[in-house]
Amino acid sequence: MGDIVFGDTGWQDYAAVPATHLTRLPKIEPMTHLLSVYGVAGLTAYFGLLEIGKPKAGETVVVSAAAGSVGSIVGQIARIKGCRVIGIAGGKDKCNWLTGELGFDAAVDYKAGGLFKALKAAVPDGIDVYFDNVGGDIFEACLPLMQNFGRIACCGAVSQYDGAPPAHGPRGVPGLIVVKRLTVQGFIVLDYMGRRDQAIADLLGWVSSGRLKVVEDVIEGLENTPQALIGLLAGENRGKRMVRVS
């Protein structure tokens, strides 16, 4: 009795589902953290960076959509692991927030124009690990800056979720992947759920010690879900955007 559980039930006030379709969650406060840093966002960042990116202390890690739910955690974990971290985000305010509040070493505003030139200046020694949340032009800009034997963790392609498709695919594929001997791997966080307890233990430790800041953007009311989703795709949020049903 009184268990806190997680399940994919759709957007609705109430749902009745078999217990086998639910996952028992630990009792952690605030409860919103169970959907952000200890939920899919945090686990995606943890396993995608550490298992696919395999960052080493002193390496350069670049993450796109760096002010979002996954990206903001990826960058902070990379810093905890001793890496130099560069975030790519939309707008000067977000970039200043990444460097001023979350401890990123540098941030590049993709909306300011001249993305490749700005990114190249931010990574004079190249990119060892790129955590890709967006695909498209930003993926293309990172490819020629990758170090030989660099790793790219492909998490999402938000640039292609909404609006017109890009005029062309990322140039440099497969040529630069071959020449630079890159590892490019997609992943689904569900593949790692057998190791979820260890991940949450690490995340809890980093949050408790203040090394990892949790950023959440909670919208009130189920009726505001459509606008919340539209705003998410437009990049309104910082950190994990959630809707509180009531």
Give residue 161's pLDDT: 63
The per-residue pLDDT for 9 is: 86
User: What pLDDT is attached to residue 163?
Assistant: 64
Which is nearest to 236 in space by CA: 50, 67, 71?
67
Can you list the alpha helix ranges (DSSP code H) found in 104-154? 115-122, 136-142
The pLDDT assigned to 220 comes to: 93
- pTM, two decimals, is 0.90
User: pLDDT averaged over consecutive 10-residue blocks of the chain (246 residues)?
Assistant: 84 88 88 93 97 98 96 98 97 96 97 95 97 93 97 84 68 90 95 93 96 93 91 85 87
Q: Who contacts 200 (Cβ-Cβ below 8 Å, separation ≥6)?
A: 26, 38, 42, 43
CATH class of the structural domain 40-189: alpha beta
Domain positions in the chain: 40-189
How many CA atoms within 13 Å lie on the side-chain side of 61?
A: 31
Which pLDDT value is given to residue 160? Answer: 65
